[in-house]
Structure 1
Amino acid sequence: METHSQRMKKRSFSRKASINIELGKEGQLVPPGIWAGNSIGVFTSGGDSQGMNAAVRAVVRMGFYLGCKVYFIKEGYQGMVDGGINIVEATWSSVSGILQMGGTIIGSARCKDFRERKGRLTAANNLVQYQITNLVVIGGDGSLTGADCFRQEWSGLLDELLQNKSITEQQRANCKNLNIVGLVGSIDNDFCGTDMTIGTDSALHRIIEAVDAIATTALSHQRAFVLEVMGRHCGYLALVGALATEASWVFIPEWPPGGDWQDKLCKKLSAERQLLQRLNIILVAEGAIDDTGNPITAEAVKQLLSDRLKMDTRVTVLGHVQRGGSPSAFDRILGSRMGAEAVLALMDATPETPACVISIVGNSTVRVPLVECVQRTKAVQAAMDARNFEEAVRLRGKSFQNNLNTYRLLSKLRPPSIIKNSTDKPQHNIAIMNLGSPACGMNAAARSFVRVALTKGYNVLGINDSFDGLLSGNVTPMTWTKVQGWSGTGGSLLGTQKQSAQDVGIGKIALKFSEYKLDGLMIVGGFQAFLSACQLADAREMFPSLCIPIVAIPCTISNNVPGSDISLGADTAINEITDICDRIKQSATGTKRRVFIAETMGGYCGYLATMAGLASGADAAYINEEKFGVIDLKQDVEHLKDKILNAGVLRGLVLRNEMANENYTTEFINQLFSEEGYPVFTTRMNILGHVQQGGYPSPFDRNYGTKLAAKGVEWMSEMIATFSTPNGPVRTGNADNVVLLGMLKRHLTFTPVQELAEATDYVKRIPKEQWWLKLRPLLRILAKHSEVNYETVAEMANIDEDEDEESSTLFSNDDLHD
């Protein structure tokens, strides 16, 4: 008989449609200097997006690591055609200090000349003069398509140049093949074949920041605000922005409303005002239409609300603000990983290898056939032009579908007073609690849990202050309006304590479960939440009241919970650390040469130090998982001295995880670097502390928390329906129904907590296997640690559209986010 885990995994990983691509190598060691003698050109084309500079930096430094010359091709295809001062050899210092900069330092332009063969002939000649036969193009689908066309024409162009005596026979022989690798830079996230494109997460940050700022003035005056966001052909920004900001309504091209949308919108907003909601936010993608193809503009929506509802309504067009500002931590890491992998893909390319795009799928970089992805992207627009919107949404991929389905679920929610519960069914009580240290995203999960559960007819209880609150009776009924505005709030509004079930007494907890007649429980928290779920599962034979469905949601900045690649709250923490590191480095501008030693949280898990190190351009990040000694520290001092004396770098940054080593403390490292680095540089020490747990939740954490909780309630509802007894109470009698819901690769997956026991180091409170450790060599290479062999992290695999796949943003951000 199948276990619940097997059933859930089948559901999570069933194959649908895929873009077929060739399997490649994973885990291959790449020694330094093995591609010496080759030249790479890197350029950005089309609209700019935050994170492009991170990709450019990674291309340059990975190219140097492999022994290549790297050239900037400034102003995109226009610079390639114009040549001259637009093609410049890159140096190490030319990409120093650009990681935190938005836009692109090498410029971007749209080029009419390159669309003609004459322009491409001139561009080919300019590349041959520098022996550039490898190109990394960073742009949208139009830029990538142009690059592939250029590649296909390359041989004919060289023949023509030879015939015209513009190049020599030797140059023709040396440059006979052109290799192309693409990186998708687009804030719209409109390219099929990748979970996230470079710039999307940063654009979401700008939208969320704007809505959070507008909400305060809207609350003061009971106003409605209509915000127009970018997305002429793709509604991703508007859709995810609506999920993250609790928007009352969203208009996107892929999901056009029917002809009566005006009536429905007015009815919904009127109902919300009757519930004493003081503000309404409506997001409109610039390409929004109704089901007949007529445009829906922000101004038209404003006029509707003003005329029919007499609402004080304002319009804000965010425009190019969404493209600006410093890139988010996710986009910096995404650009860095994609740029490094692009160089490796060029190294592996042969004349028969099709042009590829570097993409992020789950927590891995993959190489995807460029032509197939472009064809699929164009098929989306063709489906929308044909008014086949269901097909358009399907072609967008499962990540987009899941976002849309979650929004539909929450947007259809009505207050409990409107729901008519069946009188012949017993009313079930389900509860939610937070456990462990506070982390951003807890409140978004609580809001989603409460509202989805209320619409299913459950009595929802909020357990304040963890198990202590349960034992003291600090349990309150949760209402529709009580959780209004929770998604954008940091910390834990329910209150949370660092404790486990065993600490307070499992027998006492079981009595309280009976007293409140609980039929389901969601625990949102860190390792303590996972540990308590395990303890409750183990005690089920002794206490029947514990035999209810229990879902643990991993929520901790440390990202140390097994069963999930990314924990709720970690993305916000990485952004906080990255922002602080930017400010720390900026504080030394104009002063003498300085190295900063900063300590991050994370317990024994080095995730924060590693990912923040990648995002902030750290020279080193010391963690417990990677052993180091005084010789390693001394080598890093010499490396920093060399960079400062010979590479023109003025500042350095070293991160240390708080439990990296009990002897090599942050103070010790600071003193060692200060002594051994003198007189080349001075040092300053910074303990970042609890600021890492603060701030407003990032777009990823708001969205992730919302979807985790909604999916958890759906699962809990299934279990309650399956295991309800005739007289009412739910009794599963099975530890298989105490699960952890997390993201594994790109899938939201339920795993029984007892199955995770063998994969857990309970002493250090970390999983035994951690996917992000494969990024450690990249951090060193980008900081000029040339003695490190690079372990490739790319894998050639199918880009699957699965039932429960999700974008991670640090991945898939989707990444999340990776």
Structure 2
Amino acid sequence: MHRVSARQLVNTKRVNAGSLGSHLINYLAVLFSSLLAWGKKLFRVLLVPDLGHWYHLSCSSRKSLGSSSDTAWYRGPGWQGPLCAAGMNAAVRATVRVGIYTGAKVYFVHEGYQGLVDGGDNIKPATWESVSMMLQLGGTVIGSARCMDFKEKWGRLKAACNLVKLGITNLCVIGGDGSLTGANQFRTEWSELLADLIKQGKITAEEAKRSSHLNIVGMVGSIDNDFCGTDMTIGTDSALHRIIEVVDAITTTAQSHQRTFILEVMGRHCGYLALVTALACGADWVFIPEMPPEDNWEEHLCKRLIAQRERGSRLNVIIMAEGAQDRKQKPITCDQVKNLVSKKLGFDTRSTILGHVQRGGTPSAFDRILGSRMGVEAVMALLEATPETPACVVSLSGNMAIRLPLMECVQVTKDVTVAMAEGRFEDAVNLRGKSFQNNWNTYKMLAHVNPPEVKSNINIAIVNVGAPCAGMNAAVRSAVRAGLIQGHQMLAIHDGFDGLANGQIEPITWAQVGGWTGKGGSNLGTKRNLPGKNIEQISLNIAKFNIHSLIIIGVFGCCKTTREKYEELCIPMVVIPATVSNNVPGSDFSIGADTALNTITTTCDRIKQSAAGTKRRVFIIETMGGYCGYLATMAGLSSGADAAYIYEEPFHIHDLELNVVHLIEKMKTSVKRGLILRNSNANDNYTTQFLYNLYSEEGKGTFDCRMNILGHMQQGGTPTPFDRNFGTKMGAKSVMWLTDKLKECYRHGRIFANTPDSACVLGMKRRSLIFQPLASLKEDTDFEHRIPKTEWWLKLRPILKILARYEAVEIDTSEVAAMEHIIKKTGEIKGGKI
């Protein structure tokens, strides 16, 4: 399809709202001429799910986005999925809308592969409005079913015939390894299926020629997170939300009655959910199939539970994966563990099997964004595919969407099962990826090791700086316990740098941080004040309390140091980013940002529900973030906003006028509501009140307006699973780094560290956690506006605009256009998880 050129559409941005009539006439004239040039050329895409859901997309499009060529190619993607997982609807929505944006005609395939086999009403066209108001819905709106027919050749013949008749030769599949393997088999035997259909007279040679190739792209949708090659599968984060909600609720009753609770979570033969849950709630024991407990585990478990009670704990929590087993591959059940604890220890013990509650509920902000990004990348992969391109799967590595060969990922996933069956449990953990390994190692260190009797005579102090945010306490707990395990004395500094200047410093013990992982805010107390005029007193107290190293859990301003002026500050330091604004240089993510994002997303869901009921209403929402537009942008993606105004992307009155025109046109459709987000410091003049007044005035007679400033509710709340685990891993990793650095800096009976690499920020960059010297971050820092000069999430802004139905948007979502590989010659993981 020949679309209106980018230049023609960009020029429409400069149209005054009052000249809307002439603007539309000109636009329609250009569009009509484009349609004439298009002619009868059509490209069809299909969206489908197998053992779960299928979506079909029928499209008319070009090889590359942004092209003005009128060349059309005949294809169609289809989509498959497993049992439903929260976030799939976001992937459906993104694929449909980006497909339509590229000129495609999109189809849904209802009821999984069965719908593909049966055809007829199971394959229906999708429209822009048909995927509205579905971001917040769990499950999948187009149904899911297991299909035995597709496993037989006659079933695949029927499916192929349905695709050929619709001109569809692209399948976009959401599913697990079984579903994706089925899709790849379908693709492999495509030519054979076409030949059989010609022989049977069900299709003509001309139809077969037009559909001579089948392209496959996969997206992994599974709460188990058992697919190797991707850090997270769609639905996993939402499942963790459901599990942690239950754990938090159970913890309160367990503490009251001094009980032991055993919780079984899903995951089949993958222990990811159980392991991350144990890390997030500080469980006393976890059973996972990849690493069964050693022989005589019953005795070790009982000793562990008794030791926890002796330290003052009023409860015990044991997390079990449903595929838990011992070293002889004999299943370990909840009842077995319950009977052991009850009879041998006499503890009041309860067991709970969570079951399918983990699959349901509202998708988390992370799953909505992940589904949207993967949906966009899937369409891009199909647009760029050639007959020689192997089937690929869209994966997440760090914060990057990448493409991996489908069957390589499937093979590694199967290798995990083989390793467990053969008793090679270390190999099984390694094959799960680096993220799984890090989670396991961190859990073992924090939950299964007692502090040593011999001390190191090293004092490590911890201070919280900046506004409070969820996840700070998890980082403190992890750092304290990791330090005690290393034999160090851990010191708590209360009330930020003010407390350090005033001498509010005291030792903190293992038991004192018990239960901190799930608590929001800052238990140590925190202040926004930086050292400033108190720097001299701070240096004196560092010497007075014999502080050998410092962990700063906090915000942007911590990235400045004045060590050269005060010898007492020449100690190893590490900054752990913790702020809802996510504006700390040196890290793509900050502790607390995910919890704030989920708070905003939940609020926007409720506001949209209100707007849907009243109709013809636009809400203006102000988020936190200072000059950093991360929260506004990501909340815009997760809540389906029509626009998100941020400081990093300057906007003018003409842009505001265009947005008003856009909403006026939207009110003519079946979706009669609007949602506008604005970052708190997006513009000094175009304030939230100004936007409200502008939209109210220009929308008179078409829509009315309401304004909400969310405020400090974004800093509160219970930490999300991501913030708990992120904080836990960051705290432990910082202590291990400091321990090594202290050994390097110990000379002549004292510690002296004045090199740049002895004061670092621990941050996540792209695909790994790395330590970066504070001095090296100055070049990439806008100190005036307290933001990094380069921000990775800005490349997601075009997705927000396209999904909101704006035209002339250039998009490039993948930093790695070429397909990567997960398997090296040695059989090791290459695109490892974080």
After TM superposition, the score normalised by the length of structure 2 is: 0.90
**Equivalent residues of 1:35, 1:66 under 8 A apart:** no
Deviations 1:706-739 (CA, angstroms, capped at 9, x unpaired): 1111011001111222222444x32123243011
The corresponding residue for 1:204 is: 240
The corresponding residue for 1:166 is: 202
Alpha-carbon separation, structure 1, partners of 2:178 and 2:592: 36
Give the 3-state SS of the residue equivalent to 2:784 in structure 1. Answer: coil
Alpha-carbon separation, structure 2, partners of 1:654 and 1:144: 38
The corresponding residue for 2:676 is: 654
The corresponding residue for 2:192 is: 156
Aligned residue identity for 1:596: F
Alpha-carbon separation, structure 2, partners of 1:455 and 1:166: 71
Deviation, 1:276, is: 1.7
Q: Does 1:598 align with 2:618?
A: no
Alpha-carbon separation, structure 2, partners of 1:413 and 1:361: 31
Decide which of 472, 496, 518 is 1:442's aligned counterpart.
472
**Equivalent residues of 2:539, 2:566 under 8 A apart:** yes
Q: Does 1:468 align with 2:477?
A: no
Alpha-carbon separation, structure 2, partners of 1:32 and 1:74: 34
Q: Does 1:497 align with 2:534?
A: no
Deviations 1:181-225 (CA, angstroms, capped at 9, x unpaired): 100001111111111110111111111111001111111100111
Aligned residue identity for 1:421: V
Aligned residue identity for 1:652: G
**Equivalent residues of 2:408, 2:821 under 8 A apart:** no
The corresponding residue for 2:769 is: 748
Equivalent runs, 1:2-17 vs 2, <5 Å: none
Alpha-carbon separation, structure 2, partners of 1:801 and 1:519: 44
Could you tell me the percent identity over the aligned residues?
Answer: 58
Deviation, 1:754, is: 0.6
**Equivalent residues of 1:251, 1:288 under 8 A apart:** yes
Q: Does 1:135 align with 2:183?
A: no
The corresponding residue for 2:600 is: 577
Aligned residue identity for 2:399: N
**Equivalent residues of 2:463, 2:496 under 8 A apart:** yes
Give the 3-state SS of the residue equivalent to 1:791 in structure 2. Answer: coil
The corresponding residue for 2:575 is: 552
Alpha-carbon separation, structure 2, partners of 1:792 and 1:725: 49
Give the 3-state SS of the residue equivalent to 1:518 in structure 2. Answer: coil
**Equivalent residues of 2:282, 2:447 under 8 A apart:** no
Decide which of 322, 330, 346 is 2:358's aligned counterpart.
322
Alpha-carbon separation, structure 2, partners of 1:263 and 1:665: 64
Alpha-carbon separation, structure 2, partners of 1:395 and 1:309: 37
Aligned residue identity for 1:209: E
Provide closer, same or farther for how the CA distance between residues 349 and 478 of structure 1 changes in structure 2, counting only shifts above 3 A. Answer: same
The corresponding residue for 1:512 is: 541
Provide closer, same or farther for how the CA distance between residues 170 and 801 of structure 1 changes in structure 2, counting only shifts above 3 A. Answer: closer
Aligned residue identity for 1:447: R
Deviation, 1:429, is: 1.3
Alpha-carbon separation, structure 2, partners of 1:477 and 1:561: 28
Aligned residue identity for 1:645: K
The corresponding residue for 1:676 is: 698
Q: Does 1:109 align with 2:139?
A: no
Aligned residue identity for 2:798: P
**Equivalent residues of 2:77, 2:382 under 8 A apart:** no
Give the 3-state SS of the residue equivalent to 1:395 in structure 2. Answer: helix
Q: Does 1:764 align with 2:785?
A: yes
Aligned residue identity for 2:692: N
The corresponding residue for 2:84 is: 48
**Equivalent residues of 1:413, 1:451 under 8 A apart:** no
Alpha-carbon separation, structure 1, partners of 2:730 and 2:771: 10
Aligned residue identity for 1:240: V
Deviations 1:671-730 (CA, angstroms, capped at 9, x unpaired): 111121222211110101111111111101100111111011001111222222444x32
The corresponding residue for 2:453 is: 420
Q: Does 1:265 align with 2:289?
A: no
Provide closer, same or farther for how the CA distance between residues 364 and 733 of structure 1 changes in structure 2, counting only shifts above 3 A. Answer: closer
The corresponding residue for 2:743 is: 721
Alpha-carbon separation, structure 2, partners of 1:106 and 1:320: 19
**Equivalent residues of 1:44, 1:75 under 8 A apart:** no
Give the 3-state SS of the residue equivalent to 1:134 in structure 2. Answer: strand
Deviation, 1:47, is: 1.0
Deviation, 1:798, is: 4.0
User: Quick one: higher RCO (CA 8 Å, sep 6+), 1 or 2?
Assistant: 1
Provide closer, same or farther for how the CA distance between residues 86 and 32 of structure 1 changes in structure 2, counting only shifts above 3 A. Answer: farther
Deviation, 1:587, is: 2.1
The corresponding residue for 1:16 is: none
The corresponding residue for 2:460 is: 430
Deviation, 1:131, is: 1.1
Give the 3-state SS of the residue equivalent to 2:183 in structure 1. Answer: helix
Deviation, 1:656, is: 0.4
Alpha-carbon separation, structure 1, partners of 2:812 and 2:390: 23
Q: Does 1:561 align with 2:584?
A: yes
**Equivalent residues of 2:460, 2:550 under 8 A apart:** yes
The corresponding residue for 1:487 is: 517
Give the 3-state SS of the residue equivalent to 1:383 in structure 2. Answer: helix
Q: Does 1:392 align with 2:428?
A: yes
Q: Which runs of 4+ in 1 moved over 6 A?
A: 32-35
Aligned residue identity for 2:296: D
Give the 3-state SS of the residue equivalent to 1:505 in structure 2. Answer: helix
Aligned residue identity for 1:60: V
Equivalent runs, 1:668-817 vs 2, <5 Å: 668-727=690-749, 729-795=750-816, 796=818, 798=820
The corresponding residue for 2:125 is: 89
The corresponding residue for 1:180 is: 216
**Equivalent residues of 1:192, 1:377 under 8 A apart:** yes
Alpha-carbon separation, structure 1, partners of 2:616 and 2:477: 48
Deviation, 1:592, is: 2.6
Deviations 1:543-600 (CA, angstroms, capped at 9, x unpaired): 2211111111011111111111111111111111101100111123422321111001
After TM superposition, the score normalised by the length of structure 1 is: 0.91
Deviation, 1:644, is: 2.1
**Equivalent residues of 2:623, 2:631 under 8 A apart:** yes
Q: Does 1:522 align with 2:567?
A: no
Task: Give 5+ residue unaligned stretches, structure 1.
Answer: 1-27
The corresponding residue for 1:18 is: none
**Equivalent residues of 1:34, 1:66 under 8 A apart:** no
Alpha-carbon separation, structure 2, partners of 1:475 and 1:506: 16
Give the 3-state SS of the residue equivalent to 1:494 in structure 2. Answer: coil
Deviation, 1:177, is: 1.1
Aligned residue identity for 2:570: C
Q: Which moved more, 1:33-42 or 1:240-249?
A: 33-42
Give the 3-state SS of the residue equivalent to 1:553 in structure 2. Answer: strand
Alpha-carbon separation, structure 1, partners of 2:574 and 2:754: 15
Alpha-carbon separation, structure 1, partners of 2:810 and 2:346: 66
Q: How many residues align?
A: 765
Deviation, 1:751, is: 0.7
Deviations 1:464-496 (CA, angstroms, capped at 9, x unpaired): 001111122211210111101101011111000
Q: Does 1:588 align with 2:611?
A: yes
Alpha-carbon separation, structure 2, partners of 1:327 and 1:352: 36
**Equivalent residues of 1:40, 1:63 under 8 A apart:** no
Provide closer, same or farther for how the CA distance between residues 170 and 798 of structure 1 changes in structure 2, counting only shifts above 3 A. Answer: closer
Root mean square deviation, CA, Å: 1.8
Deviation, 1:607, is: 0.6
**Equivalent residues of 2:401, 2:813 under 8 A apart:** no
Deviation, 1:31, is: 4.9
Deviation, 1:37, is: 6.3
Decide which of 298, 311, 318 is 1:282's aligned counterpart.
318
Q: Does 1:451 align with 2:481?
A: yes
Aligned residue identity for 1:153: E
Aligned residue identity for 1:719: K
Alpha-carbon separation, structure 2, partners of 1:790 and 1:275: 56
The corresponding residue for 1:312 is: 348
Deviation, 1:420, is: 1.5
Alpha-carbon separation, structure 2, partners of 1:34 and 1:636: 29
